[in-house]
Structure 1
Amino acid sequence: MAQVRVTALRFSSMLENRGMQATHVRDGLKVEVDVERLASEDLDLEFEQLVALAKRFKKPWPYLLVDAPETLGARPRDNRTLANRRHPLSPELVDEVMRVEAMLEASADLFPEIAFEVPTSAITLNTPVVDAAAAIRELLGVSWEAQIGARGDYASLRLWSLALQERGIYVSMRRLEDATVRAFSLVSGEQAVVVADTQDVPYARIFSLLHEYTHVVLRTAGVCDLDDYDTVERYCNAVAATVLMPGALLRRELPKRTWGTSIEADEKEIAALANRLGVSKASLLIRLRDYGTLSQEQYDVLERRRSERRGGDEKPGGTYYPAAINKVGRRFARGVVGAYEAGTIDRQDASTLLEIPEHNFHSFRVELAKAGRGE
């Protein structure tokens, strides 16, 4: 059986970039490969071994045949807070970041006319939160009526996702296996992407997307845990919450009641108000604290109780193609399919950019066409 040469230069650089040992790779392989030897010398592998090794890294098998070290773009800024700050990015997250970087590189080549937009007035950490949020909401153009009128959580997610994409921002929904990361964003030249974790419920993902877009506006894009301790993270949380819940909207919707007399009653009201506004409970609590409705002590109690229950109301994901489309985002997906239809790229390249097997490309195109302009 024919064999193919994999170089130690390529393999060892892939290990180094992910902070992995060769033994970590062997643990997840379906076939026998002498990974320790491959880390130090070139090896000829059977095609079955090559495919298994590539699958372990979630890469197409030709990726391992390049006789050059794997290069990464600039590592994303680490916006995680508290103890997370000292944790290196997990190998799984490095792979996700690299795939998103590939999206941006392809976008720059295939769609150079698309550039992300930010408010015309400069926004910095010294900009009042209310002013920054008002400028972002005006740019995105989401009305109160559209927000409150969205029929359910996924409709709300599509509403805000489409608003971002219409401003040249690529939106990507991915499963982030690194427990210290809730979302991330990357900027490369005129291209920008915001990524939300599919393990979060839709309302939480909306908040993540707006949080990450605020990082893009501030030029502080990177990986985030969305905790509220670091100055930049606290600012992005406050802006995202205020974009979703401007003061005038809160004044109209807040019930006339006294807060803090009953934790259970407060939680019930938080749940009802969050559902009515189409926002996550976490973002609503942040907004009510910053708005002065809740004291810091009341916020701490309610947020701790919410956090302890986090994940209990998550919904299962959809079918294969909606998830595959959302992984790269409809704007990017339409662009890649359009490039294929125009003859700019072939089906194999299109499938690689869309992160799907080539044999699924036709059905992907069909499902994307059915999806229309929603996101």
Structure 2
Amino acid sequence: MPSVYVNIKPEIINWVLNQIQDDILEENMINNIKAWLNGTKTPTFNQIEDLSRKTNIPLGYFFLQTPPEEKIDLLEYRTIDSIQLAKPSRNLIDTIYHMERIRDWMKDYRLEMGFDILPVVGCMENVDDISTITKRIRNDLELNETWYELCSNTREAFNFIRDRLEACGIIVMMSGIVGSNTHRLLDINEFRAFVMVDKWAPIIFINATDSDGARLFSLLHEAVHIWIGKDDLFNDRYDITNGVSSTEKLCNAVTAELMVPKDIFINKWNEINETDVFDTITRLAKYFRCGEVVIARRAKDCNKINQDVYNHVVETAIENYNKIKEKQEDNGGNYYNTMISRLDGCFVRALCESINIGRTSYTEAYRLTNTSPKTFAEVAQRLGGMLW
């Protein structure tokens, strides 16, 4: 079958090159692109299709007359300035787009079904007192000061808070990949989480490639953003202490108080009274069911440790995280448990109800959840959804 040649505008090719990381294309592809741009060669449809796959840029974009305008408002709310986020990856962009579709679906559903706006969204807007915000969130989530004692470990603590947020109507999604593509891994160096604030359907997305302790911090951090009514793209590595906005400092402080109440922390620290400060941090991380970096940051803020100790804890946590990730990649995991962890229970149950009343098609449900018919039915059942 003869090759089909296509005319692609040079400005489209240049736009594509500006969207991707420098090292994702092979030398042969780069040479072809140079030839297309200088006019010595014309691309074939198969070559453009191949370029679309490798760059994760939709095929249709290549045939536009002018580059598409992809205005991603969420990037304006990133926690810290980042050269990397100045050119966000297609993985991040596509994940944001997918969460926007879920948010929009859930908002339309709740509006049509007569739901009221969620009272927690923006209820602490323009409040800058840490204690006031903390008390309000504890009250709304029905958390006592020592809620973490109800959990046996950090993962249970994450699921506990997630359940409380879902009970408030907040959508919590989590994944370490784009859609169902296991070859498109999300990078915690680019972002840890993000939140889209909406009166009817606020949505938190957690990067599942992160550690258990970091996920818990991110979840509560983004929850605080919902209470103060401000979007956020959380790309803080926790080892950066300068250059963050006043809003982020406030959210970090409230998150720390929710996870590790200051008065209890100081009492526990003094009770342990170990000569080895690192052992103290480890013991307190187990007690508060959180990551050691959170304890180290609390200790630093309370003048219990210096910056060098804090930096060492962060470096060690990153090393341990990398070792754990290697083991997880070797061992794999339970498919259905993974799928369930990615999806919000309220969202799936709403989908099932919408399907049952003829408002939503099965095809749309599969698309929104990145599942197949068999997988959706199983996951829906496990999350309490009923399909007739």
Q: What TM-score bracket applies, with the shorter chain setting the length?
A: 0.7 to 0.9
Deviation at 1:243, TM superposition (A): 0.9
Of 340, 348, 351, 2:355 maps to 340
Query: Structure 1 68/148 Cα, relative in aligned 2: closer, same or farther at 3 Å?
Result: farther
Query: Structure 1 258/150 Cα, relative in aligned 2: closer, same or farther at 3 Å?
Result: closer
Secondary structure of the 1:107 match is helix
Q: Partner residue of 2:189?
A: 179
Deviation at 1:297, TM superposition (A): 3.7
Write the distance in 1 (CA, Å) between the matches of 2:344 and 2:57: 19
**Deviation digits for residues 233-258 of structure 1 (CA, Å, limit 9, x no counterpart):** 23222111111122454366445144
Q: Show structure 1 runs of 5+ residues with no match.
A: none
Write the distance in 2 (CA, Å) between the matches of 1:20 and 1:369: 40
Which residue type is aligned with residue 118 of structure 1?
V
Of 193, 200, 211, 2:210 maps to 200
Q: Partner residue of 1:287?
A: 298
Q: Partner residue of 2:155?
A: 154
Which residue type is aligned with residue 105 of structure 1?
D
Write the distance in 1 (CA, Å) between the matches of 2:213 and 2:77: 24
Please tell me whether residue 212 in structure 1 is matched to residue 222 in structure 2: yes
Query: Structure 1 244/370 Cα, relative in aligned 2: closer, same or farther at 3 Å?
Result: same
Q: Partner residue of 2:134?
A: 133
Any conservation in 2 of the 1:181–1:224 contact (CA below 8 Å)? Answer: yes
Write the distance in 1 (CA, Å) between the matches of 2:162 and 2:83: 28
Q: Out of 220-229 and 162-171, give the one that drifted further.
A: 220-229
Of 277, 281, 285, 1:270 maps to 281
Write the distance in 2 (CA, Å) between the matches of 1:235 and 1:256: 29
Query: Structure 1 120/193 Cα, relative in aligned 2: closer, same or farther at 3 Å?
Result: closer
Deviation at 1:333, TM superposition (A): 2.2
Of 360, 364, 374, 2:376 maps to 364
RMSD: 4.3
Query: Structure 1 62/318 Cα, relative in aligned 2: closer, same or farther at 3 Å?
Result: farther
Deviation at 1:220, TM superposition (A): 3.0
**Deviation digits for residues 201-231 of structure 1 (CA, Å, limit 9, x no counterpart):** 2232111011112223333312122343313
Which residue type is aligned with residue 91 of structure 2?
E
Secondary structure of the 1:179 match is coil
Query: Structure 1 184/343 Cα, relative in aligned 2: closer, same or farther at 3 Å?
Result: same
Which residue type is aligned with residue 336 of structure 1?
L
Deviation at 1:87, TM superposition (A): 3.2
Equivalenced residues, count: 355
Deviation at 1:273, TM superposition (A): 1.6
Write the distance in 2 (CA, Å) between the matches of 1:110 and 1:352: 16
Query: Structure 1 169/153 Cα, relative in aligned 2: closer, same or farther at 3 Å?
Result: same
Any conservation in 2 of the 1:78–1:85 contact (CA below 8 Å)? Answer: no
**Deviation digits for residues 288-315 of structure 1 (CA, Å, limit 9, x no counterpart):** 333x262454663454444453514457
Q: Partner residue of 1:223?
A: 233
Write the distance in 1 (CA, Å) between the matches of 2:94 and 2:300: 37
Identity fraction in percent: 17
Please tell me whether residue 325 in structure 1 is matched to residue 325 in structure 2: no
List aligned pairs for 1:21-32, cutoff 5 A. Answer: none
Query: Structure 1 254/65 Cα, relative in aligned 2: closer, same or farther at 3 Å?
Result: same
Secondary structure of the 2:233 match is strand
Query: Structure 1 23/362 Cα, relative in aligned 2: closer, same or farther at 3 Å?
Result: same
Secondary structure of the 1:309 match is helix
Q: Partner residue of 2:180?
A: none
**Deviation digits for residues 54-108 of structure 1 (CA, Å, limit 9, x no counterpart):** 696387x999999998665642124232655873322221111111111111112
**Deviation digits for residues 135-185 of structure 1 (CA, Å, limit 9, x no counterpart):** 212211123565212233332221010111111211111223262322211
Q: Partner residue of 1:103?
A: 102
Query: Structure 1 284/89 Cα, relative in aligned 2: closer, same or farther at 3 Å?
Result: same
Query: Structure 1 282/22 Cα, relative in aligned 2: closer, same or farther at 3 Å?
Result: closer
Write the distance in 2 (CA, Å) between the matches of 1:300 and 1:235: 20
Q: Show structure 2 runs of 5+ residues with no match.
A: 177-185
List aligned pairs for 1:306-325, cutoff 5 A. Answer: 306-311=316-321, 312-314=323-325, 316=328, 318-325=333-340
Any conservation in 1 of the 2:218–2:234 contact (CA below 8 Å)? Answer: no
Write the distance in 1 (CA, Å) between the matches of 2:248 and 2:82: 14
TM-score (norm 1): 0.75
Deviation at 1:110, TM superposition (A): 2.2
Write the distance in 2 (CA, Å) between the matches of 1:57 and 1:114: 38
Query: Structure 1 143/199 Cα, relative in aligned 2: closer, same or farther at 3 Å?
Result: same
TM-score (norm 2): 0.73
Any conservation in 1 of the 2:158–2:216 contact (CA below 8 Å)? Answer: yes
